[in-house]
């Protein structure tokens, strides 16, 4: 960067150009300008970092959504809503193992082992 010799040479040239009366004012203006430049560059860097963080967050959300969609596509089971529990879903079509199936659907149909009904006149057919 700058050595002490370089800074001394710049100071001597500034003293000759601006004079001893104006040099403190020029130094103050240069100091303020450098401070403003640092503040502006810091603000700019923070804005850029926030934008990159937002882009990364959106990318992660899109990847997660794509992953969820791929998982749902590979798993045909219906997804549960946020408040649903597995027990509140529709009843399974096949009764669980070890349970006794209901016979109410079969009671109304004639059983193949039973004898056919007799005609209305009371004589067997």
Look at residue 4 in the predicted model and tell me its pLDDT. Answer: 87
C-alpha–C-alpha distance, residues 10 and 13, integer Å: 5
What is the rounded average pLDDT of the residues 100-115? 54
C-alpha–C-alpha distance, residues 5 and 16, integer Å: 17
> Alpha-carbon torsion 22, 28, 30, 32, what sign?
negative
Distance of CA 102 to CAs 26, 89, 96, Å?
99, 20, 12
pLDDT digits (tens, 9 = 90+) for 32-85: 999 999 999 999 999 999 999 999 999 999 999 999 999 988 886 655 555 555
pTM, rounded to two decimals: 0.42
C-alpha–C-alpha distance, residues 42 and 39, integer Å: 5
């Amino acid at each position: 960067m700058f050595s002490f010799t370089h800074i001394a040479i710049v100071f001597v040239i500034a003293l000759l150009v601006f004079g001893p009366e104006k040099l403190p004012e020029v130094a103050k203006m240069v100091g303020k300008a450098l401070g403003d430049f640092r503040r502006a560059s810091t603000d700019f860097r923070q804005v850029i970092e926030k934008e990159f963080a937002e882009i990364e967050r959106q990318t992660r959300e899109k990847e997660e959504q794509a992953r969820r969609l791929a998982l749902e596509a590979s798993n045909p089971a219906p997804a549960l809503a946020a408040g649903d529990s597995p027990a509140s879903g529709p009843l399974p079509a096949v009764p669980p193992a070890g349970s006794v199936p209901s016979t109410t659907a079969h009671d109304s149909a004639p059983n193949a082992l039973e004898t056919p009904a007799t005609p209305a006149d009371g004589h067997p057919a």
